[in-house]
Structures are given as structure tokens and as C-alpha cells.
Chain A
Amino acid sequence: MPKRTSVIIPRENVNDAMVTLVNWCVENGTFVEAEQALADVEGSKAVFTISAPVAGVVQYTLSPGQEVEVGGVLCLIDGNEALPPPAEALPSQSETTPAVTIPVSQSEALRPVAETMPVLTEAGNGITAVSSGRRQPRFSQKAAALLQQHGLAPELFMGQGLVRVQEVLQRLEGHGPRTASPPEAELSWPADAASRPEPVAALGVPVHTVPLAQHKHTERRYLASSFSNTLPSMVTVAVPTRGLRAAAAQSPKFSGSVTALILFEVARLLHKYPALNAFYARGAMHVYEEINIGFAVDAGHGLKVPVIHQADTKSLQDIASEMQEYLLNYLENSLRVESLVGGTFTITDLSSEGVFTFSPLINQGQSAILGVGGEFFLPNSPAGLFNLILSFDHQLAEGRQAAQFLQDLAYRLQAYSAVFKSDMSHEVGAEELHCARCLASLRQLQRLGTVQQEEHFLVQTVQPDGRHEYRCNTCLQGW
């Protein structure tokens, strides 16, 4: 018998049942060495490369764009002792079944499934899968018991076929390095699926359908799940940019990245606001014991959120360089799946898009997301501002707490400009009175008042630590 090896699609991500072949790295029927790259394959979170497990002649029938099941066969490698088999010995495509390496489960997924009745497992353990037109999972007895014990919904495992204790544990695990994965919730609707209205298209208008890319589906699922599991609310605080960006640009310490700075500060601040580093489930707040902050990147290769794990333990330098590395990986499409999982808080920075404000959506398994807006200016004022927007889950926090978080953050961010106040002395007189928050000098306020025909003045405040500070009336009163 010839030595024939199947190259199996590895399971890179607990959530992936299918992956898409992006491209082949080798020609069909050529000899490959062990460890040689065979193909690039895209999962829901990342593209990864599959290498040859042994040397030999590679034989494949898949085309780029086709989907393969995780655990299925990518291609065959015929060992060095045997000659490659003649063409007719390879599995050939029949008219009725898909190409050989697309297993039946994929065609099964495409076929409409008539299983819409709720399913009880034979042990009658009371787990009822909600009818939603997709295949219901089957739970082993121990898995079902674990489900009830932790109050997880069966719908969490939709499309998974057979669910054992280990699959349930994987969902539950929030501990442990790098294996933690926030619990996933599929879109869940009230039991009476019939009451959910179908979207209605505009009457009489022709339509052509564009299927959504796989990553968009994943994104949709994640966001929809948190949307339905949280009560999102939003608070915005304006922060002066003056000095901050200049400091960032000039100082090698920041490596030119204000987002790194924000991430660094948020990481530490979250110790004080655990409700923003948690998730709500079944009547309780589940606080993460790590602070892993993801930052959204969208620069031509789709929206991805790489995660800085345990950001509160890392230096600003480390964070900045890690972010830069992620950016490079993103641009090269070589982000690994480990980089994308385990996030407990997210920062999304649209400042480069010139956005004034926006409504970021809380990511699945989290309770808050910080949006960073672009710099804007008050009329006739050189003092720039940018908005920090916090979307938060009202089940765990309130507006006041969210505002305090943002104020604290703003304060810390501004403290950096004070470090370099000496560098900017040419702009602001060292002795001149100025607003401690927005750095507007008294002279500038006077000018502003003249232009706007309104009163602008400074108010002296005494801080809790006894320091005397000035605040302009705008910063004092808010918008």
C-alpha cells in the first residue's frame, strides 16, 4: 500500500467549524518538503497557513474560495516511496456530490434543515433547544448538568452538533493565559420565533443580493450578541488636545502613538472601575481577572481587534511596540488567532477619520467600549478638543460612574502635557494664569470672549490635595 497522508485542517479557533481556502502556496502534483507552506486558510478571526506534515507529492482538488470543514481534508500527500497515483485514482467529483474534500457537513449546512421542533435529550434533563431553523446541538448528560449549573443557555452552542463537558468548559473558562475566551452568545430571540418579523424590502424595487463575507458574519454575530445581552448607554467627555498631541509627537517615549497612551492609562484605570471590565450574565456581574484591552484596526484588511493581554502590567513602551507589531501583522495578514481572543475591554480610535463623535458597539463578552474622536476646535479658538465616548452596559454601571471614569481618564491624559509644559513655554507664559484643564490662558480667554461676545473667565479652585488651580468657566460648566 502506498504511504498516503491526509493533511487535515487544524482547529485554530474553538468557534470555527468551517474555513475558507484563500490560496495555494504550491502547485498541484509537485513535491513538497516537510514544514513547507501548503496553503493559506481563512478562519473567522484570522488567516493562517497550513504546512506539510511530511514530505511528498501534494495532490489537491480544492479551489481558492471554497470552504472546508475544520478537521476535514485539505489535500493529500503521497509519501516518498510511492509514485503519485494516476489521475483516476484520485477521488473524482460526481455530479450529485460536491468535490471530494468538501465533506458532507458543508452541503448539509447549505441544505434547508427541517428540524424546527424543540429537542429534548433522551435523559429528559430539561434542556430545550430553541427552534431557530438551524441544527440544534446535542448535549451529553454531564454537559447538560454543567450548563444548568452555570446558567448557560443551550443556544450558545448552536450549530455545534455534539457538545461535551470539555466544550462547555471552554466556553466558561475566563481564567488561564491565552486560552480564555469570552462566552459567546448567538443571536437569541424570544421562544416564539414566529413573532419575530422578517425585514420587508421596499415594494416593487429590484434587488440584487451580495453575500456577506465570513468575517462580517462573525462580526455580526458578536455584536448582535452583545447588543442583545447588554443595555448599552453612552457618555461623552471632551478632552483638550493642546499639548497632548504635541507631546506625543515630540517625545520618543510615546513612539508617536496617542492610542498607546490612552490604552496604557485605561488599563490602569480599569482597576478602579471593575464594572467596565466585566460582563453581565444571568443576574450577576462577572468580573474578569485580567485586563486585556483590544484596539480596533481597520486599514484595508477588514475590521480586526488585536488584544494587548494584561495591559495593566505592561509599560507604555511595551504597549506601544506591541501595538505597532500588531499593526504590521495586520497589514501583512499574519495576525495569529491568539492575538485576537481574550479581550475584556475595547478601544476604538476613529480620530484619524476626523470623526466628531460616534456610537461604538460593545463587543461580545464585555461591558464597555471606549471611542476616541477626532480633534475639533471651538470657533476662533486655537485650543483643540477631542471626544472620549464610553458606551457601557447599564446593567453593570451607570452614567455617573461612566462619566467619572472618563473624567479620570481625561485628567490622566492631560497630566502628560503638564510634563512637557516646559517645552511649550513659548506658547503659554509660564507665569500666566491658565485653565488647568484646557490650558487656555487668560489672554486667550479674553480674546475668545471678545470674539464670541460672551464672558470667558477663570475661576480659582482648590483641589483636594490643596493645590490651587484655575478653571475656565467652560471647563467648569461643561457644554
Chain B
Amino acid sequence: MTVQQEAKVLSDLHMQALLIRSVEQRLLELFAQGKLSGTVHTCIGQEWSGVAVAAALQEGDLLFSNHRCHGHYLAWTNDVEGLVAELMGKQTGMCGGRGGSQHICSQGFFSNGIQGGIAPVAAGLAFAQKRTGMPHITVVCIGDGTLGEGVLYEALNIAAKWEIPLCVVLENNLYAQSTPQHLTLAGDILARAAAFGIKTAQGNTWQPEALLVTVAECVAYVRRQCVPLFLQIDTYRLRAHSKGDDDRDPQEVQAYCDKDPLTLFLREHDSEDLAEVMAQHSARIDMAVACAEAAPDAEAIETDDEVPVCAWPVWERTRLTTSERVVHVLHQALQRNMRRDARILLLGEDIAGPYGGAFKVTQDLSQEFPERVLNTPISEAALVGLSSGLALQGWLPVAEIMFGDFLTLAFDQWLNHAAKFRYMYNEQVRVPLIVRTPMGGKRGYGPTHSQSLEKHFLGIPGTRMLALHARYDPGQVYDALFESIDRPTLVIENKLLYGQRITDDVPTGFVLEHSDERFPTTRLRPEGPPDVTILCYGGMLTEAESAIDQLFEVHDLICEVICPLQLYPLNPWPLVESIQRSGRLLVVEEGLSFAAFGAEVIAQVAESASGVLRQVQRVAPPRHPIPACGPLEKALLPGAPHIVKAVVELVQHA
């Protein structure tokens, strides 16, 4: 480039920075006028970091930012109109008014409002780019406050170990909301990255030209070497964290205002041309505001989940032709689907052969698919976040969480990231992510390795939850899932189920059937009028079966068992159909019952089929953690004897 060309580029970048500031200032005004939804985290004073990053990136690169993302967004996309409309909650906003200030998605730009949580997702995006073989990279923007979040370090660890082309840009503005850095940050910022073996660099926004060079070098490095890099950009925000919450020393702030590069630039280049450009900016922003004001508000929808078809199911006799152990059936299902679809990846702890997973489901798949079965460090959050990023980029990742109890470590990734992307980004993305995990007790593993935590993950819009059981081929479940996956799906695999064989050998006098849903409901229909309907799922089906056998044999009571595969969203109609015949419902669950699956089902039945439910009861464990003592655990967790007792009491109580 010639000197003039370089000067022009630099000038344009200055204009870009000025435009960002103008927009941010106008947003603050709009906020004061009450025209914005929520709050704004302006980047006034930090504009150059966004400008420098956007200038260094190429087409095909991705940029993931945080709550203070307007500058990054405008530098990357120049979409003033979309941003203003989005913050005003309008349908013309780049996310239809659903995301607002902090949750932006457009043209390769993402942002989310959870500090640190974005890091593994960004790493997943970069990892996906690496797998395509194209020289694209992902930049993730964090703040110095983010250094408090553990998941950030999980992401750095994996990024370094797996050589992921992730460029971490940390805007160090010395404050985390209202807390000055020296109160919360131990040690050195760059040393943190260096500890992972990640190359570091440093710049600041008061020397924009130098910053441009630094950022360009960093980005080039990441692109060339295909490894992560950690860039610290020192800067300062001249306004409050969000709005009206600035407790900083005014003198300190003023000092930074005095050396603010844009203010200085304006002073030095006070000219007609500049004034005209500023006027153009102003006019453009005015127009954006006016258009946004005229546009309709974001659209209301009932739900973004699938709505079950309001119809009675068609039932079909279940024929289970194999009698293999479930663990083998699962292994085969993963294998055949991985052979069929190259997008499927397996991630998890200890899943590679020869160990082959804690419950031996993945076995030797890493030998057949060496690049597609990935052992991760013990980082549940990063594991799920990385998988989300991969899913965003069109892969079909299957994340194994070794014990369902550990899923809590990834809860933020599941709830605030994977589940929400589709809706809050206004349907622009899909997250075809599968998380599979064993739950359940009766192996004496103790309080933190035996739980059934489904209830904590039920009812999250945008997700699906399945629970495998012994009377419907789990391989077929995965086949259907892989074929149709379009949203984060949690698959609960009961631990005891792994060793069981799949047969259709149900108690005499009962017919094994399943419905015509994609993930069918299983029914054990008695050859006689039912006295009680038993609802259960997962591992409890085996107990329920044993119980109905005893109940008929000894107590002359006939029960019908309804066992859904899909716990959420829930189709209540197979159950309602059964309750219409029996009038009584017993819900059996292995997890705690307070505000759990049973409570939800009973509420739905009461709402939708008033009058048919005469009596209802739940069977669930007592309200304390699961003890490690084996015999005690077996006595506490629901089993056939508990179910028998409950049914007898339920019928007698009439």
C-alpha cells in the first residue's frame, strides 16, 4: 500500500471509531428517553480495540464478544440500523428485538451476556474452523473482570492443548463493573495465559496506529500457526459500566478523558470535512432511530419448543428382535451413525480407547474414528461449550458427561448458551448438540455419583430431554435423534440400564406397545380393565414392570404402565388416554419429587383432562441426599416393593 492509501485507511478507521462513539452517545440519550429495552454497556473510550480487531480480521473469521459489544459489532458489520432497532426491541433489529444489547448475532458476529461462558463456545467455533482446513480464526473479546470466571481457564487449557486458532482479546479497563481490579485480581494477567503455553501480546487504545499493527500481527500469528494467542489491550471506559452506576473517582476519569484518542483527534482535525462526516453520522443515526421507532415491536410466540400434536396416539406392538446388552446397543448405534454421517463427533472424558468410557459405551470407536473421538480434560463446562460452538458451525457433537451428577458443572453452558442461541439470535442459528449422561443410583456410589437430576434440566425452552429405558431399542432412539437433531438434546442413560438386555419379554397378560411419536411412548397394556395407571421413565420401568406383575398376582390389581421416552417437551395424550380408563395415576420417579417431572405431569393432566383423574400419588425417594451405604440406598430409592405398596394404598384409599 502507498502512503496515501495507508493514510486513507487510517482515516477511515478514525471515522469508524467516531461513528461508534456517536452511536453509543445516542444510545445513552435514547436510554434516558426511555426508548431502549434494558440497559446499555457503552464502550465509549474503548472504541479503538474493536476497530483494530475488525480491521485485522478477514471474511470467514468469527468474532465473539460480551455485554460491551456494540463497538465490536459496529466495527465488524457497520450495521448501525440493525443495532439501534435491536436495542429498541424492534423486529427490524438484527435479532428481531429478541437479543437486545448483549445478545447479538449477525454476519459471523456473536455476543452473549454471560462473562467467561462465551470462551469455550468461541473455542468451539475456532475448533470447527480448524477442522474445515480453511485458514479462518475466531476472536473472543473478554474483559479483565472475566478473569474471575473459571470456565475461561478451562477454555484456554483446551485451546492450547488442542491447538485451536482462538485469539483472545482482553480489554483491560481496570474495572469489573464497580470493583477496581486491584481488589479482585491476583497475580498477572498475561502470566495466566503464558501458564498454558499461550503466546501473549499487549497493546493499548491510546496509540491506535500501533494497536492496529499489534492486532494485525496477533491475528496473523493465530492464522498462520493455528494456535491460540492472548492479547491484552489496555484501555479505559469513559462512561459508567452500564448506566448511572459510576463510582469511580471523577478525577481519574477526567484524566482519561483528557487523553482520549478520539477527543484528541477531533480537536486536532477540526475541519469542515470532518464536521461534514460527523453530520453524516448524525443523520444516519437519526434515520436509524426514526426507522426503528416506526417498526413493530418484537413478535410474540407461544413457544419455541415443538408442540405435541393434540391427538390420541396410534399404538403398535413392540417387537424387540435383539437381546443385546444396552451398552452394546449404544455402541453400535454410535458406530453406525458415525459411519453414516461424518459430522458426528464424540467428546468426553476418558472416552477414547482402550479405556473406552467410564461405562464402556464408546469402547473402541476412537480406533475407527481417531479424529472424531476426543478425550477432553476434566472440564465439563468447556466440554459442553466447545460442543456448542461446534454445533453452531454445523457439526453434530455428542458430549458425554461421565456422571449425570457432573452435569451441574456445565449448567450455565446448557441453559444460558446452548438452549438460548436459537431463540435469542432470532432463528439464525441451530445448535444440534447431544449431551448424553448416565444418571441413577443403586450402585452404592454415594451422594454425588448416584443422583437423578432430570428435574433441574426439565422445562428449558429450546431443549429436548430423552430418557432411555429397557423396553424400546435405544439404538433406534439414537438413529431417530441423529436423523432429526436440531436443538440441544439431553439423553439420560440409566446406569443400571447399561447391563440390561433389550427384550420384549414382559409379564404374562400384558402387551408391550409403543406410540407413533418420533420418540415413542411405551405402554404396558394389561389384558383387563386397569385399576391404576403407572407413569414412569428410564430405570424405573424395570421396577414398575416387576411391580405390576406382583400387583396382579398377589393383589388382584391390574395396572397399565405408561413410559415416555421424551420427558421434555412432554406429550400428555398417551397418559391421558390411559387415565381415562383407570381414573388413578401413580407417578414413580427415582429423583426427588419436589417440582419434578411427576409434579409437572400431574399439573398438565389436571389442566387438560379435568374430571378423569380421581386419585393421584407420587412415589419418590425421601428428601435427603442419597447415602452411600448400599442396602440403605436400595431401600430408599423407589423399587418394585414401594410401587406395590403405593398402588395398594391408592386403591384402598378410594
Chain A residues packing against B (C-beta within 8 Å):
1-4, 6, 8, 11, 71, 73, 76, 85, 89-92, 94, 96-97, 100, 103-105, 107-108, 119, 121-123, 135, 137-138, 140-143, 160-167
Contact = CB atoms under 8 A, between A and B. Distances in A.
B641 interface: no
A91 B573 CA distance: 12
30 contacts: A1-B609, A3-B610, A4-B310, A6-B580, A11-B529, A71-B581, A85-B311, A89-B310, A90-B311, A91-B311, A96-B316, A97-B316, A104-B511, A104-B513, A105-B511, A105-B525, A105-B527, A108-B511, A119-B508, A121-B508, A122-B549, A138-B527, A140-B552, A140-B555, A160-B527, A162-B526, A162-B527, A162-B528, A162-B558, A164-B528
A104 B552 contact: no
Contacts of A104: 315-317, 511, 513, 525
A85 B607 CA distance: 18
A135 B516 CA distance: 26
B186 interface: no
B297 to A, nearest CB: 28
A163 B552 CA distance: 9
Contact of A73 (B312, B527, B556, B604): B312
A165 B528 CA distance: 13
Given A85-B310, A108-B317, A119-B508, 19 more contacts: A1-B572, A8-B580, A76-B312, A89-B310, A94-B516, A97-B314, A104-B511, A121-B553, A122-B549, A123-B553, A138-B552, A140-B556, A142-B556, A160-B527, A161-B526, A162-B509, A164-B556, A164-B558, A166-B556
A138 B556 CA distance: 11
With most chain B CB atoms within 10 A of its CB, the pick from A107, A138, A160 is A138
A161 B528 contact: yes
Interface of B: 309-317, 508-509, 511, 513, 516, 525-529, 549, 552-556, 558, 572, 577, 580-581, 604, 607-610
A interface SS class: loop
B640 to A, nearest CB: 14
A131 to B, nearest CB: 15
B205 to A, nearest CB: 57
A100 B314 contact: yes
A285 B307 CA distance: 64
A99 to B, nearest CB: 9
A162 B610 CA distance: 29
With most chain A CB atoms within 10 A of its CB, the pick from B312, B549, B556 is B556
Contacts of B556: 140, 142-143, 164-166
B518 to A, nearest CB: 14
B442 to A, nearest CB: 24
B143 to A, nearest CB: 47
A137 B310 CA distance: 35
B607 A8 contact: no
B511 A122 contact: no
Contact of A160 (B508, B528, B609): B528
Nearest to A88: B309
Contacts of A162: 509, 526-528, 552, 558
Nearest to B313: A91
A4 B612 CA distance: 11
Contact of A89 (B311, B314, B516, B580): B311
Contact of B607 (A1, A11, A76, A137): A1
Contacts of B608: 1
A8 B312 CA distance: 13
A144 to B, nearest CB: 9
Contacts of B558: 162, 164
Contacts of B607: 1
Contacts of A167: 528
With most chain A CB atoms within 10 A of its CB, the pick from B313, B525, B526, B552 is B552
Contacts of A76: 312
A100 B311 CA distance: 11
A138 B508 contact: yes
B527 A161 contact: yes
Contact of A6 (B309, B312, B508): B312
B51 to A, nearest CB: 54
Contact of B312 (A71, A100, A161, A164): A100
Nearest to B526: A162
Contacts of B309: 89
Given A1-B608, A8-B581, A104-B511, A94 B554 contact: no
A407 to B, nearest CB: 50
Contacts of B581: 8, 71
A50 B529 CA distance: 19
Nearest to A100: B314
A140 B507 CA distance: 12
A96 B608 CA distance: 30
Contacts of B525: 104-105
Given A91-B313, A96-B316, A100-B314, A140 B528 contact: no
A91 B314 contact: yes
A8 B580 CA distance: 9
Nearest to B523: A104
What 3 A-B pairs come out closest when comparing CB atoms?
A161-B527, A1-B608, A162-B528
Given A161-B526, A161-B528, A94 B552 contact: no
A274 to B, nearest CB: 35
Contacts of A163: 528
A350 B555 CA distance: 50
A169 to B, nearest CB: 11
A25 to B, nearest CB: 22
A272 to B, nearest CB: 42
A148 to B, nearest CB: 16
Given A6-B577, A91-B311, A104-B316, A140 B553 contact: yes
Contacts of A119: 508
A328 to B, nearest CB: 34
B511 A164 contact: no
With most chain A CB atoms within 10 A of its CB, the pick from B508, B513, B526, B607 is B508
Nearest to A135: B527
B562 to A, nearest CB: 15
A114 to B, nearest CB: 13
Given A6-B580, A105-B511, A119-B508, A94 B314 contact: yes
Contacts of A92: 314
A140 B548 CA distance: 12
A104 B316 CA distance: 7
Contact of B310 (A2, A141, A160): A2
Contacts of B572: 1
A137 B552 CA distance: 13
Contacts of A142: 556
A140 B549 CA distance: 10
A187 to B, nearest CB: 21
Contacts of A85: 310-311
A183 to B, nearest CB: 19
Nearest to B528: A162
Nearest to B557: A164
Contacts of B508: 119, 121, 138
B543 to A, nearest CB: 17
Nearest to A162: B528
Contacts of A94: 314, 516
Contacts of B314: 91-92, 94, 97, 100
B64 to A, nearest CB: 41
A447 B108 CA distance: 125
A161 B610 CA distance: 31
B255 to A, nearest CB: 64
A165 B552 CA distance: 10
B529 A122 contact: no
A6 B604 CA distance: 18
Contacts of B313: 91
Given A104-B513, A161-B526, A140 B554 contact: yes
Contacts of A103: 315
